[in-house]
Structure 1
Amino acid sequence: MAQTVREIMTTPAVSMPPDASVKEAAQRMRDEGIGDVLVTEGEQLKGIVTDRDIVVRGLAERDDLSNLHLSDVCSSEIVTAEPNETADEVISRMRQRSVRRIPVVEKGKPVGILSLGDAAVEKDPHSALGDISAARDNT
């Protein structure tokens, strides 16, 4: 039987509201050892912010980040997955859409996140990406 997304996703997904500061999100990513934060209003997924988004849409665009919020840098066109989809289906979607992380939603509510690293650890644990992804965070 094929592995489901539920079996390999990371839980819980860290989420913050759109009006949270980019600095708060960066600190949360550092503290949690993660590379993304889901942007939510209530329990509704509104976007995703990655460490790369902060650099490309934040630092590269502005001199002063003090008033920058997640809504200013988040990706709002979100590719999502459901927990009961097969991992192979979702990995294929990641490849087609050129994304490294996919929020996992159930009944519209975020329940986890599937990263390229999660997939590598499960599907090809002895690959370079699998080894790196399984290693302890070095921050």
Structure 2
Amino acid sequence: MKSVAQILKSKSNQSVYTIAATDSVYNAVKLMAEQRIGAVVVTDGDKIAGIISERDYARKIVLMERSSKATPVQDIMTRAVIFVRPDQSSDECMALMTERRMRHLPVIDQERLVGMISIGDLVKNVIAEQEFTIQQLEHYITGERT
């Protein structure tokens, strides 16, 4: 099982996208669309103020018939940010995401935002680990040495 740090290193795009709490929801959704991501960390100066996801947009803007251009991110963001640390395991992340019904976890190291782990990142990791195990079993069964 890999650590969060190992998963972050294996990502092709290690950028962490943020948006100011005072920026518009429209700009947050535009950033998510441009970067093909599902959530953005919200900042207030140097501090993490929250997180906004596509789900927040759908439930708090679209369904409530609000204007994304007129609504600041801080009005709809999730303020209680659940995060993980680089030394935590992928299993811990999966359990947390399942329990809390969330798809994105910011990664914090020494009070600094260092990455973002998505459910997609974790699924890719599980698949890679399973493929490795299958290869090892096939080699064992056939008597091949690696």
TM range (shorter): 0.7 to 0.9
Larger proportion of helix: 2
- Which is higher, the Rg of structure 1 or of structure 2? 2
| Matching residue of 2:118 | 115
**After superposition, where does 1:86-125 map in structure 2 within 5 Å?**
86-124=89-127
| Matching residue of 2:64 | 61
| Matching residue of 2:4 | 5
Whole-angstrom CA distance in 2 between matches of 1:77 and 1:67: 23
Alpha carbons of 1:15 and 1:56: their partners in 2 closer, same or farther (altered >3 Å)?
same
Whole-angstrom CA distance in 2 between matches of 1:21 and 1:13: 19
What is the percentage of aligned positions where both structures have the same residue?
24
Higher RCO (Cα < 8 Å, 6 or more apart):
1
Which letter maps to 1:30? A
Count of aligned pairs between the two proteins: 126
Gap regions ≥5 residues in structure 2:
131-146
Q: Deviations over 1:22-77 (max 9, x none)?
A: 11111111111111110012332111101111111112113433310110111112
Moved over 3 A (4+): none
Whole-angstrom CA distance in 2 between matches of 1:117 and 1:106: 21
| Matching residue of 1:83 | 86
Note if contact 1:103-1:114 (Cα within 8 Å) is conserved in structure 2.
yes
Whole-angstrom CA distance in 1 between matches of 2:92 and 2:66: 41
Q: Deviations over 1:68-98 (max 9, x none)?
A: 0110111112111001111111211112222
Gap regions ≥5 residues in structure 1:
128-139
Which letter maps to 1:40? T
